[in-house]
Amino acid sequence: MTIAFLNGEYMPLSEAKISPMDRGFLFGDGIYEVIPTYSGKAVGFKGHTSRMSQGLDAIEITNPYSGDEWQTILSSLIEKNKVFIESGNIGVYFHVSRGTDTKRFHAYPKNIAPTVFGFAFEIAPPQPTAKTDAKPFKVALQQDKRWQRCHIKSTSLLGNVMHYQAGVDAGVNETILYNSEGMITEASSCNVFMVKDGCISTPPLNHELLPGITRAIAIEAFKQAGLVVTETWFSKDDLLAADEVWLTSSSKEVAPVVEVEGKKIGSGEVGDIWEKAISAYHAYKFQA
């Protein structure tokens, strides 16, 4: 049984209990993060904790901890869980909800303490660097039906869950989303990149997509490696005509997609630019 953190204490995950009156449970009223770590080293810790602060500010929850305190919780969770997760590929989940109220009332209650939860779980090993070793993803394509504040990493994930499930039901690994104008926004739990004629692009940041930490690290890594990368909108037709498509997220790093909505991308195999991109990502990820 792995060890979790709940409101200042460490305990076996099965003993971590919260009230059903917690607003995270009743309303999905909270913010979360998933931070990948490999052999004890975190990727993008600063980016993750500052995005969490921005999310908490946006929904008017006071961040209960400083950056150093979050770092201590992260390090303690890794240390306490490394005996249970022997691969050393550990994702750390942080969740801050508005806290437990005495009644169910929509408005933000005053003077309640946020509920803070953290736990550790095994994530996939780092992506291989050879395209022949990579696990190719297949994805579905759907119109984005989520809310208008997708830049906030909210624990209210029903829209994402439904889009992800549509992919599962179609027998694929993820669902890429497009907005009402047919432009790609992101996927249900990842950001999206495409490659056309050697140029890498990803949608620019706005309220329609999460500012992914992996996305940001990848863009910087690609630039440092001399790859051409732009933040521009592209349509679902552009996506289907791309030479390569990739997904980025903390647990998948940069994952190659070979099929979208039953249509092969490029040759239908993991592409050459992906090989360059993943090497660039690995070379830079711990510096971010």
Q: Which of 71, 76, 235, 251 binds ligand PDD (CB under 6 A)?
A: 251
Of 54-62, 120-128, 185-193, 278-286, the segment contacting ligand PDD by CB under 6 A is: 185-193
For residue 104, the minimal CB distance to ligand PDD (Å) is 26
Pairing mode, if any, of strands 115-122 and 41-42?
A: unpaired
> 176 forms bridges with which residues in the sheet?
141, 187
Is 212 a binder of ligand PDD (CB under 6 A)?
Answer: yes
| Terminal-residue alpha carbon distance, the chain | 32
Of 52-60, 75-83, 184-192, 277-285, the segment contacting ligand PDD by CB under 6 A is: 184-192
Compute the distance between CA of residue 23 and CA of residue 183 in angstroms, rounded to an integer.
34
Nearest to 205 by CA among 164, 245, 254, 152: 152
Is 154 a binder of ligand PDD (CB under 6 A)?
Answer: no
CB-count exposure of residue 229 (10 Å: 0-12, 13-18, 19+): buried
Is 34 a binder of ligand PDD (CB under 6 A)?
Answer: yes
**Which amino acid is present at 236?**
K
Supply the angle between the helices 45-58 and 67-81 in degrees, to the nearest 10.
Answer: 120
> 192 forms bridges with which residues in the sheet?
247
Compute the distance between CA of residue 176 and CA of residue 236 in angstroms, rounded to an integer.
9
Tell me which residues are annotated as active site.
Answer: 153
- Please say which residue, 104 or 145, places its beta carbon nearer to ligand PDD: 145
Consecutive H or E run containing 257: strand 253-260
**Which amino acid is present at 272?**
D
- Please say which residue, 98 or 285, places its beta carbon nearer to ligand PDD: 285
Q: Which of 37, 81, 189, 201 binds ligand PDD (CB under 6 A)?
A: 189
Is 191 a binder of ligand PDD (CB under 6 A)?
Answer: yes
Compute the distance between CA of residue 246 and CA of residue 232 in angstroms, rounded to an integer.
15
Is 123 a binder of ligand PDD (CB under 6 A)?
Answer: no
> 229 forms bridges with which residues in the sheet?
200
Of 134-142, 193-201, 249-257, 277-285, the segment contacting ligand PDD by CB under 6 A is: 249-257
Of 129-137, 225-233, 242-250, 254-262, the segment contacting ligand PDD by CB under 6 A is: 242-250
Is 285 a binder of ligand PDD (CB under 6 A)?
Answer: no
- Please say which residue, 142 or 214, places its beta carbon nearer to ligand PDD: 214
- Please say which residue, 36 or 114, places its beta carbon nearer to ligand PDD: 36
- Please say which residue, 116 or 254, places its beta carbon nearer to ligand PDD: 254
Residues touching ligand PDD, count (CB under 6 A): 15
User: CB of 266 within 8 A of CB of 196?
Assistant: no
User: CB of 245 within 8 A of CB of 234?
Assistant: no
Q: What tokens were used for 158?
A: 């029903």
Is 61 a binder of ligand PDD (CB under 6 A)?
Answer: no
- Residues numbered 213 to 232 that lie near ligand PDD (CB under 6 A) are 213-215
Where along the sequence are the contacts to ligand PDD (CB under 6 A)?
34, 160, 186, 189-191, 210, 212-215, 248-251
